[in-house]
Every structure is written in structure tokens, then in C-alpha cells.
Amino acid sequence: MSEPRKRIRRSAQASKLAILQTAEARLIADGPDAVRVQPIARELGLTDAAVHYHFGSREALLETLLRYSGRRFLDELAAAIATHRAQGMGFDLARAAALLADFYDRKGAARLVMWLRFSGWAPEGAGMLTPLVDWLHEDRAARALAQGAPTPAREDSQYAIALLSASAMSQALFGDALLRSVDLDPAKAADFTAWLTGALGDQAASS
């Protein structure tokens, strides 16, 4: 067992942020099971009671961590959308897929969501991916207007983003097993993502 660090005095806000940042690093490295109060407290030079003071319980810490990671994802998404718009570019399916894959897989959000769900947690929020839906739908509407076509249904954009999100989450959770289940070489994961984004792009363009 590692020795606890010397106690460090922080403001309440700084302590809470440090706990979340440390919890996120542990989630990325080793999954939800690694996000535990005692090792996080030791690493930060805090008492277990201090962590519980800020979050109440380990489960509450994990729920807060999911919201924290979600806000960071939304910040990255907003920056990507702003960059594309500033450059006069429309919706970028490949970029959207990459952002979702990073959030669900590398940052561990998919594993965290499943851990919380199996622990009895039920999400209360809605619409986290609305900025992606808006980005796609605005692009589809602009293309339809330029072609003199009717405005496309927003619901189709919602379906497309839901499918893209589900695919990214499934790959994060099941890894190689997803492609192996249909007798595909796991090395073709990038090809699968390219095929999916291409299919979604064709569907969005035709509807």
C-alpha cells in the first residue's frame, strides 16, 4: 500500500475539482472499479471524510464524474462545431464519430454508464447530444434549401446521431467482440466506422 501524501490545504472548490480530475484519470486508466475513495484521498493528501464531504458516497462521486466528463465532451464538441462553422464547413460525420469514440472509449464513459446502470442508477437528464443533432440538421436543411427541396425531418437527424452514438458506445464496451460476432477481422474497426459514417452520410443526404 502506498504511503499517504502530506496533507495539502485547498479551497473547497479546488478540492472537488482535484478529486474529479484524479477520479477521471483512474477511470481512463483502469475503469470504474479503480475509482475508489481511499486511494483518491491518499493520492491527493486528503482524508476519506473530505472526499465523502464533497460527494456523499462513492456512487455519488461516480455520477458526478459522469456529468463532469460529459461537460468536457460538450466543450470539445462546441469547439469542433465552432471551428467548422468559422471555416464555412458543414457537418463532419467523421469528426463527430471520433469525438464520440474518444468520450465513450478512451475516456471511459461507456464503462462508467454501464457500471452505474447495473448499480441501479437511472439517468435523469436528456438531450446531451442535441448539439450534434442541431449541427447535422442545420447542414441537411441548408443543402435542401440550396437544392430547392423540402426541409428534411429533424427526426431523421436524431435517429442518425442516436445510431452513431450507439455504435461508438458498443465498440467501447465490446471492443473486438463486436466485429468478431459477425466474423469480421477486429483490425477492420476503422473500416467499420468509415462504412457507418458513409452510410449515415448517404442517408442524411437523401432524406
For residue 55, which of 115, 11, 104, 12 has the smallest C-alpha distance?
12
| 21 and 114 housed in the same domain | no
Kindly report the CATH number assigned to the domain that includes residue 52: 1.10.10
| 195 and 164 housed in the same domain | yes
| 119 and 17 housed in the same domain | no
| 48 and 79 housed in the same domain | no
| 84 and 140 housed in the same domain | yes
| 39 and 80 housed in the same domain | no
| 93 and 162 housed in the same domain | yes
**Is 142:88 a contact under the CB 8 Å cutoff?**
no
SS3 label, residue 145: helix
Tally of domains in the chain: 2
Q: Is residue 82 part of a domain?
A: yes
Q: What is the pLDDT of residues 157-203, one digit of tens each?
A: 999 999 999 999 999 999 889 889 999 998 888 888 888 888 877 66
Q: Is residue 73 part of a domain?
A: yes
The set of long-range contacts for 10-15, using a CB threshold of 8 Å and a minimum separation of 24, is 12/54, 15/44, 15/46, 15/50, 15/54
pLDDT value at residue 99: 94
Q: Is residue 165 part of a domain?
A: yes
* Type of residue found at 188: K
| 4 and 105 housed in the same domain | no
Q: Is residue 90 part of a domain?
A: yes
Cβ neighbour number for residue 36 with a 10 Å cutoff: 15
Q: Provide the residue count of the chain.
A: 207
Q: Is residue 42 part of a domain?
A: yes
Containing structural domain, residue 110 = 67-206
Q: Is residue 139 part of a domain?
A: yes
| 40 and 71 housed in the same domain | no
| 41 and 86 housed in the same domain | no
Instruction: Give the integer Cα–Cα distance in Å for 43 and 3.
Output: 9
Rounded to two decimals, what is the model's pTM?
0.84
Q: Is residue 62 part of a domain?
A: no
Q: What is the pLDDT of residues 72-114, one digit of tens each?
A: 999 999 999 999 989 988 888 889 999 999 999 999 999 999 9
**Is 7:46 a contact under the CB 8 Å cutoff?**
yes
Q: What is the pLDDT of residues 34-79, one digit of tens each?
A: 999 999 999 999 999 999 999 999 999 999 999 999 999 999 999 9
pLDDT value at residue 193: 84
30, 56, 82 - which closes a domain: 56
| 28 and 77 housed in the same domain | no
Q: Is residue 47 part of a domain?
A: yes
| 52 and 94 housed in the same domain | no
Instruction: Give the integer Cα–Cα distance in Å for 154 and 171.
Output: 26
Please give the full DSSP string across the chain, using - where no structure is assigned: -PPPPPP----HHHHHHHHHHHHHHHHHHH-GGG--HHHHHHHHT--HHHHHHHHSSHHHHHHHHHHHHHHHHHHHHHHHHHHHHHTT----HHHHHHHHHIIIIIT-HHHHHHHHHHTT-------TTHHHHHHHHHHHHHHHHHTTPPPPPHHHHHHHHHHHHHHHHHHHHHTHHHHHTTT--GGGHHHHHHHHHHHHHHHHHH-
